Amino acid sequence: MQNLRITDAVPESGLKTSITPATIITGEIQGQGDMHLEGQLTGKIQVKGLLFIGKNGNFNGEAIAENIIIEGHVEGQIDATAKIEIRSSGVIKGTVICQRIAIAEGAFFEGKIKTRKGKPLTPEYFVEKRKDLQPGQ
């Protein structure tokens, strides 16, 4: 099986929400499309598409999405119905629930990984080779 990044394998939904680095939110966000977080969010995120936490992104709480890419900092619980990708700048402290997980060399993870169906979960490890890592560019 070829090791594809989420951005290579999953088409964009067309519905996007962006939270910029200058934004601080406390509360709950729900949406049908994708979300790109570069600011700070404390609370709960639930989106139907891709949740992308960028290098400037700082999330504390519970996140649920189909696919999740982490380049920033996360504390709490993240739950992907499909795949989670932790890139080399990503930092996670907490619980990860997913079908599949890929962890880049240099990423930091402290916590638990749980699989959906009780099957053993073996992380895919990868070395980032591309300079342009932003989705949709």
pLDDT over 80 at 10, yes or no: no
Cα–Cα nearest to 74, from 55, 95, 51, 91: 91
Could you read off the pLDDT of 11-23 as tens digits, one per residue? 555 678 889 999 9
pLDDT over 80 at 133, yes or no: no
112: three-class secondary structure by DSSP: strand
pTM of the predicted model as reported, rounded to 2 decimal places: 0.78
Q: Can you give the length of the chain in residues?
A: 137
Place of tokens 């997913």: 98
Q: In this structure, what token pair is assigned to residue 85?
A: 């990708």
Angle at 68 between CA 119 and CA 76, to 5 degrees: 80
Task: Give the C-alpha separation, 119 to 14, whole Å.
Answer: 33
Q: Confidence band (pLDDT; 50, 70, 90) for 1?
A: very low
Domain residue spans of the chain: 6-126
- Structure confidence at residue 16 (pLDDT): 83
- Structure confidence at residue 127 (pLDDT): 73
Q: Confidence band (pLDDT; 50, 70, 90) for 115?
A: confident
- Structure confidence at residue 137 (pLDDT): 43
pLDDT over 80 at 6, yes or no: no
Question: Comparing 35 with 131, which gets the higher pLDDT?
Answer: 35
Could you read off the pLDDT of 48-103 as tens digits, one per residue? 999 999 999 999 999 999 999 999 999 999 999 999 999 999 999 999 999 888 99
Task: Give the C-alpha separation, 119 to 131, whole Å.
Answer: 34
